Amino acid sequence: MEPRFTLTDNALGATFAKRFGNTSMVILQSTLPKATQDLMMLRVSQINGCGWCTDVHSKDLAAAGEPAVRINLVAAWREASVFSEAERAALALAEEGTRLADAHQGVSDETWAQVRKHYDDDQIAALLAGRWIATAESCTAGLVAARLTDIPGSSAYVAGGVVSYSNEAKSELLGVDPGLIETHGAVSEPVADAMADGALRRFSADTAVAITGIAGPGGGTEDKPVGTVCFCVKLADGTTDLRTMRLPGNRSDVRERSTAVAMHLLRRALTQSAAAVR
């Protein structure tokens, strides 16, 4: 008997499989609690209309000891009272993120704020215990330092930060080689890497976050359009996360999203470092 529909031989199915796979990978690679990840995966499966996936994730949750009432109410989490505020924030992110490709819209600022409130910032504060962090920022102009110091008790681990907006400031305050800027441009991974090194040196820190980008509305080029942002998270043990992203939105959006990405990358690097020590 020939199958009526296969994911591998059908263009629509291939698109579905790719979208679902990408969403699943993001969730499973996050540092969210396993129980929360499973709830998110179930909700994603429901939205995508995958009955098999929904069945699998429902059974996994049940096997892990999740009460049937919570499993059955995942699709109605907004009206249900059986989920914590943190779980509700995660489910909202799963819903909005899964529907991005269809709606052509971004995840709302309110949803990001709730996720940040319940996960990123508190986790980062715990992971920075015993560390000394410094920031080097260009396009975000201190927003990452502000996020770090919004957390009570941050004076125990925040050393300071440099807003190196101009090329001269990058060289004079962080020791970035002017030749590096001339060769690669101020918005480049080599410069972001050098900025992180400069922050580590200047503050005798063991953890650094550096950002350089084009927030707009001007300054973009064909190779580096507005929204191009380079990030570097570097730990004293050599652990480095260096990457470039193109972020959508207006100037304010790019700056806020750059800050959120930087905090996520920081959390990820610290989590991986802590796991390697164990």
| Nearest CA-CA partner of 233 in 271, 193, 186 | 193
Confidence of residue 121 (pLDDT cuts 50, 70, 90): confident
Which residue range is the domain that position 236 belongs to?
A: 123-277
CATH number at residue 97: 1.20.1290.10
Residues 48 and 127 in one domain: no
Residues 154 and 201 in one domain: yes
Helix axes 85-98, 11-28, angle to 10 degrees: 150
Q: Is the pTM of this model over 0.85?
A: no
Residues 137 and 85 in one domain: no
Confidence of residue 58 (pLDDT cuts 50, 70, 90): very high
Q: Which two tokens stand for residue 265?
A: 């990358």
pLDDT computed for residue 180 by the predictor: 97
pLDDT computed for residue 250 by the predictor: 93
| Burial class of residue 156 (count of CB atoms within 10 Å of its CB; 0-12, 13-18, 19+) | exposed
Residues 135 and 80 in one domain: no
Residues 252 and 212 in one domain: yes
